[in-house]
């Protein structure tokens, strides 16, 4: 069983199951889900049989949710054309659960859309898709879950806690939400913010100050030069020179210093146990 964890409190973030028999498609789907601030945990499966095993598994998080009267996962994002049980057949099994997870189909073809919505799917996303389309689907899932179970804690909070960083560029001030920052690199008394859209921005804020301000928002120091959004770490890898973290779909590797390795492991495993 594979699970990607976020540093965010599980009671305030969604638990998702991503199902796709093609690795590139599954990796892309996981990356898009990880990039959404409302997703806390992502389980993944390569076919319907594995997905059904995950739903019924005695994983501590899933067992805790079932005991609380919640579906094992909040939402299943599934491809339709898979070997063995198709996504549609799998969805019929999920729909019969009580309580049932929400369903979002992700497919390269639109010919099953009517059947998908007849099964109660919240959305039907056509491949290829970009981040805004997945974000829209997640918004629909959250709205449906609010109807069924009430507003989560974060929706009841009055102000947004997403800090905005002003960046000066050629006489123009651009506002960068903290939720769009993937990692930060120290550059002397400055810090460079690397964001979801692939760009970077230099700000006159020391890395140590951002570490203090953003620690409770899910950022962790992994090296004297790097601060990373823990929810975007997909792997902690042992290499010849020490540990490295993988950000996203192996698109970025960052070193982990020996000094910060233990804290990083504790943060990762701590979220898995919660």
**Domains of the chain (ranges, CATH numbers):** 2-156 (3.40.50.2300), 164-273 (2.40.50.1020)
d(CA 98, CA 211): 42
pLDDT above 90 as % of the chain: 39
d(CA 162, CA 219): 13
Q: Has this prediction a pTM greater than 0.75?
A: no
User: CB atoms < 10 A from the CB of 142, how many?
Assistant: 18
Hey, which residues does 51 pair with through a beta bridge?
Answer: none
pLDDT tens digits along 104-130: 999 888 877 888 888 889 999 998 889
pLDDT tens digits along 22-31: 999 999 999 9
């Amino acid at each position: 069983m594979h699970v990607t964890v976020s540093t965010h409190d599980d009671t305030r973030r969604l638990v998702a199951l991503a199902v796709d028999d093609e690795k590139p498609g599954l990796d892309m789907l996981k990356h898009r889900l990880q990039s959404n601030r409302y997703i806390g945990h992502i389980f993944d499966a390569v076919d319907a049989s594995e997905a059904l095993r995950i739903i019924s598994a005695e994983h501590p998080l899933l067992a805790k949710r079932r005991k609380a009267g919640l579906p094992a996962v909040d939402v299943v994002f599934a491809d339709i054309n898979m070997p063995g049980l198709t996504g549609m057949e799998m969805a019929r099994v999920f729909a019969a659960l009580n309580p049932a997870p929400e369903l979002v189909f992700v497919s390269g073809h639109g010919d099953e859309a009517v059947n998908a919505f007849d099964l109660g799917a919240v959305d039907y996303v056509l491949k290829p898709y970009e981040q805004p389309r997945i974000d829209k689907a997640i918004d629909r899932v959250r709205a449906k879950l609010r109807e069924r179970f009430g507003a989560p804690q974060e929706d009841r909070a009055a102000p947004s806690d997403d800090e905005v960083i002003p960046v000066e560029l050629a006489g123009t001030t651009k506002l960068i939400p903290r939720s769009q920052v993937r990692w930060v690199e120290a550059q002397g008394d400055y810090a460079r913010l690397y964001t979801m859209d692939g760009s970077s921005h230099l700000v006159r804020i020391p890395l140590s100050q951002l570490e203090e301000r953003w620690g409770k928002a899910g950022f962790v120091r992994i090296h004297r030069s790097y601060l990373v959004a823990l929810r975007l770490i997909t792997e902690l890898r042992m290499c010849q020179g020490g540990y490295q973290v993988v950000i996203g779909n192996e698109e970025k590797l960052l070193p982990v210093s020996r000094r910060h390795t233990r804290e990083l492991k504790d943060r990762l495993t701590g979220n898995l146990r919660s």
